[in-house]
A and B are shown apart, each in its own frame.
Chain A
Amino acid sequence: EVQLVESGGGLVQPGGSLRLSCAASGFAFSNYWMTWVRQAPGRGLEWVANIKKDGIEKYYVDSVKGRFTISRDNAKNSLFLQMNNLRAEDTAVYYCSTSLASGIDYWGQGSLVTVSS
């Protein structure tokens, strides 16, 4: 069974940093692209970033470029999102996800990040 479990969310002050982790199991993690998607309270889905299976090729939404870094550890079946210089508008539930077939077909339960003073 495919499982994606996020951790690391919480309350952080504006300008602060936070690192999200995602533990993956039930599939060959090193063979697949991985993705972070977020959803602000009461708002729609927003794709944040994705990373190729080798960890070299990465893409980001414009609003987080230069502030967020996606990475992975294939030996530990783990995905990360390092978030620096956080802003109030980064407040959201962050989902770890992947595409084993086509489309984003597996999602974690989400981790809430709140940026507030």
Chain B
Amino acid sequence: QSVLTQPPSVSAAPGQKVTISCSGSSSNIGNNYVSWYQQFPGTAPKLLIYDSDKRPSGIPDRFSGSKSGTSATLGITGLQTGDEADYYCGTWDNSLTAYVFGTGTKVTVL
């Protein structure tokens, strides 16, 4: 059972915006940077956001990240069919001395 909670699924029409929440605690999100990962079926995850709000080179600015207190949020604007994937948050947990991933969210483009 993960210590980071995400909604199982979110959906929206092409061109619209979705947000994915990641809820944690003071031992993880509250005191550490958050990363976000995108994963297509049968492939390795890909880093989308690091340090809570930064994008690696090559990631379009349609993807954004934010953090407030013990929660983090991933936003995807201008939704495209190619964005249909699973998304995971992740961060270090100081109490567990382990990296923890969120429960994962499936994005569906209607």
Contacts and interface: CB of A to CB of B under 8 A. Distances in A.
A47 B98 contact: yes
B90 A45 contact: yes
A55 interface: no
B50 interface: yes
A101 B44 contact: no
A102 interface: yes
Contact of A105 (B50, B86, B100, B104): B50
A78 interface: no
A47 B44 contact: no
Interface of B: 2, 33, 35, 37, 39, 44-47, 49-51, 54, 56, 86, 88, 90, 96-104
Interface of A: 35, 37, 44-47, 50, 59-62, 95, 101-105, 107-110
18 contacts: A44-B2, A44-B103, A44-B104, A45-B88, A45-B104, A59-B97, A62-B96, A95-B45, A102-B33, A102-B51, A103-B33, A103-B47, A103-B51, A104-B35, A104-B45, A105-B47, A107-B46, A110-B44
